[in-house]
Structure 1
Amino acid sequence: MPGTDEAAEAITAAVVDSFRDTPDPRLRELLQGLVRHLHDYVREVRPTTQEWEHAVDYLTAVGQTCDPTRQEFILLSDVLGVSTLVETVNERGGGTESTVLGPFHVVESPRRASGDSVALMGAGTPCVVSLRVTSADGSPLAAASVDVWQCTEDGFYDVQQPDVQPRGNGRGLFRTDHEGRLWFRTVVPSHYPIPTDGPVGRLLLATGRHPYRPAHIHFIVEADGHRPLTTHMFVADSPYQDSDAVFAVKESLVVDFAQVDDADKARAYQVTAPFRMAEFDIVVEPEPEPEPKPEPTEDAW
């Protein structure tokens, strides 16, 4: 009878081989790689049957916590650093650095025009955000779509407080002008804790980790012929810059929200002085040219 290690290796080999006829080669690669690494993990740490059952129960609880306004699996991916890792390994180095989507993005933000306010409640430190979207070669991208969402000055997203905040507060879907520019009015967001009332919160508590994220504004940028970009703009003086609970801070994304006392400038931006202003250039990478298909040879006919 083979030894335990040999039997374990045989199980892995059999499961990997079970996917050999998967028609899609990329799906085959993903599944076989997952099996190899997951089986290696089991062989390395040797979980007991009870521990594995607990893991299954935990993942079940994560799934049961998800609803239309909360994605606990994204949150779990975030606190394990996987979301940031996936974004990082897919970067090509020619544009603004990407970072995590987070659990509070909604499919449809309200459409807004440049100069509109996304802050619908009228409280908090007034802020103006000025963006410029360009391609990797520096050319401006007109009519680029910029999806914006952020928390309030108290650290809550609209979907977390449906009885307090109007739906769409802190959100907006904008288009850039012919120079690739847009601006909007808002309030300076706060640092905040990620939700801790579910399975991910229990994980953080059990491991002695804090749940806080530094203050930031989210963006998804899309432009014809370019790769979509999901990124943040982090408020430079925010706490937790060096210990983001989801490992998403990148130095290039930290932006100074400077105080402006000029009353004339405030009037031009339709805010009151003093206010904070942040300027952020976003560079998106062109989609690669499709590889030309080889010309058929005589043998192909």
Structure 2
Amino acid sequence: MTEDFVASAPVQALLDRASGVDAQGGDKRLKAITRDLVEAVMKTIVRHEVSESEFWAAIHYFQNGAAEFGLIVPGVGLEHFMDLLMDARDAEAGRTGGTPRTIEGPLYVAGAPLVEGDVNLTDDADDTGTLFMSGTIKGPDGAPVEGAILHVWHANSQGWYSHFDPTREQTPFNNRRRIRIGSDGRYAFHSKMPNGYSVPPQGATDRLMQGLGRHGNRPAHVHFFVEAPGYRTLTTQINFGDDPFAADDFAFATRDGLLPVPNRQGDTATIAFDFELQKADVASDEGFSSRIRAAA
């Protein structure tokens, strides 16, 4: 059987009906996207001679793994693909410069405390060293950005994030803050050192990675949103350049320009890192994507 089977009249008629192309009402864009997605799945089934048992096993996998979609999506490269696509669209539009974007990941929580000055992110005791990170938020002309808010979040030394920690030992918003930036554009924070982590053992993502002959490990990293009036909101993260998984992040978040090597002295590490924002062309550039995020 070849993929020409999908082009047959009965299958094409099925696609039209299933996607609502022949129905009144509904959203035309959603209909077109649904039709293309379902047709692509059909072609894949024919191309690889997927059996009925394999088909239902896949459906069962996704049903049971729904809670890990936030890990599966970056693990198969789709979240990084969106970054590459947005980069390409920027290039086509003549947008250049700025700190590279990279994946948000599924573990942001809205509503972190809004603070100022040299900020301590960590509320809980942790058996690890201390990270010191500082720098300047600048515009494309190199001038400091006024009125910025820097959202920061990272894991603890065990690789767990507050609000998502299965041990339930972390206090709310541990290692999470929003930092109000002054007119000089400077930020500074310190926290207990984050470590890299792996996806949940034997979970849906781990089983998929094993089936693909891959691992599910991430290097130590720190996540950021940077927002400021008149500028595009930046979603990014820095990965520790000396981490063993810095060059092999299962989530494809490591990018050139986002791999600072910490200056380690005993049990402390210092990172100097500047953010460069792009000017917003329209008001919507200043906001966040409509991704559904956790809120406390």
TM-score band by shorter chain is 0.7 to 0.9
Residue 187 (structure 1) aligns with: 192
Instruction: Write out per-residue CA displacement over residues 146-195 of structure 1, whole angstroms, 9 at most, x where no aligned residue.
Output: 11111112322222145322121111111211122211111222121122
Instruction: Write out per-residue CA displacement over residues 39-94 of structure 1, whole angstroms, 9 at most, x where no aligned residue.
Output: 3323322311111111111111122xx2xxxxx11111011011111122112243
Shift of 1:6: 4.8
Q: Which runs of 5+ in 1 are unaligned?
A: 67-71, 261-272, 291-301
Aligned identity (percent) is 26
Shift of 1:241: 1.2
| Contact 2:218-2:250 at 8 Å conserved across structures | yes
* Whole-Å separation in 2 of the counterparts to 1:13 and 1:143: 55
Shift of 1:201: 1.8
Task: Give the direction of change, closer, same or farther, for the CA distance of 1:278–1:8 in structure 2 (3 Å limit).
Answer: same
Residue 140 (structure 1) aligns with: 144
Task: Give the direction of change, closer, same or farther, for the CA distance of 1:137–1:46 in structure 2 (3 Å limit).
Answer: farther
Task: Give the direction of change, closer, same or farther, for the CA distance of 1:22–1:44 in structure 2 (3 Å limit).
Answer: farther
Q: Secondary structure at the match of 2:114?
A: coil
User: Structure 1 residue 238 and structure 2 residue 243: aligned?
Assistant: yes
| Contact 1:88-1:98 at 8 Å conserved across structures | no
* Whole-Å separation in 1 of the counterparts to 2:30 and 2:12: 18
| Contact 2:227-2:233 at 8 Å conserved across structures | yes
Which deviates further from its counterpart, 27-36 or 123-132? Answer: 27-36
Q: Secondary structure at the match of 2:257?
A: helix
* Whole-Å separation in 2 of the counterparts to 1:213 and 1:275: 21
Which deviates further from its counterpart, 90-99 or 78-87? Answer: 90-99
Residue 155 (structure 1) aligns with: 159
Q: Secondary structure at the match of 2:279?
A: coil
* Whole-Å separation in 2 of the counterparts to 1:221 and 1:174: 10
* Whole-Å separation in 2 of the counterparts to 1:26 and 1:137: 39
| Contact 1:143-1:178 at 8 Å conserved across structures | yes
Residue 15 (structure 1) aligns with: 15
- List aligned pairs for 1:54-93, cutoff 5 A: 54-63=57-66, 66=67, 72-91=68-87, 92=90, 93=96
Task: Give the direction of change, closer, same or farther, for the CA distance of 1:154–1:6 in structure 2 (3 Å limit).
Answer: closer
Which amino acid in structure 1 is aligned with residue 6 of structure 2? A
| Contact 2:20-2:31 at 8 Å conserved across structures | no
Task: Give the direction of change, closer, same or farther, for the CA distance of 1:225–1:44 in structure 2 (3 Å limit).
Answer: farther
- List aligned pairs for 1:84-103, cutoff 5 A: 84-91=80-87, 92=90, 93-103=96-106
Task: Give the direction of change, closer, same or farther, for the CA distance of 1:132–1:40 in structure 2 (3 Å limit).
Answer: farther
Shift of 1:217: 0.3
| Contact 2:6-2:39 at 8 Å conserved across structures | no
| Contact 1:12-1:39 at 8 Å conserved across structures | no
Structure 1: 4+ residue segments shifted above 4 A: 3-7, 20-26
* Whole-Å separation in 2 of the counterparts to 1:200 and 1:8: 30
- Relative to the length of structure 2, the TM-score reads 0.80
Q: Secondary structure at the match of 1:46?
A: coil
* Whole-Å separation in 2 of the counterparts to 1:104 and 1:50: 34
Shift of 1:105: 1.6
Residue 294 (structure 1) aligns with: none
Task: Give the direction of change, closer, same or farther, for the CA distance of 1:278–1:12 in structure 2 (3 Å limit).
Answer: farther
* Whole-Å separation in 2 of the counterparts to 1:5 and 1:162: 49
* Whole-Å separation in 2 of the counterparts to 1:136 and 1:14: 51
* Whole-Å separation in 1 of the counterparts to 2:146 and 2:58: 48
Residue 283 (structure 1) aligns with: 276
Q: Secondary structure at the match of 1:254?
A: coil
Which deviates further from its counterpart, 132-141 or 24-33? Answer: 24-33
- Relative to the length of structure 1, the TM-score reads 0.79
Equivalent pairs counted in the alignment come to 269
Which deviates further from its counterpart, 162-171 or 242-251? Answer: 162-171
User: Structure 1 residue 126 and structure 2 residue 130: aligned?
Assistant: yes
Shift of 1:127: 1.9
Shift of 1:141: 1.6
* Whole-Å separation in 2 of the counterparts to 1:221 and 1:8: 46
User: Structure 1 residue 165 and structure 2 residue 170: aligned?
Assistant: yes
Q: Secondary structure at the match of 2:107?
A: coil
- List aligned pairs for 1:13-52, cutoff 5 A: 15=15, 18-19=20-21, 26-52=29-55
Which amino acid in structure 1 is aligned with residue 173 of structure 2? G
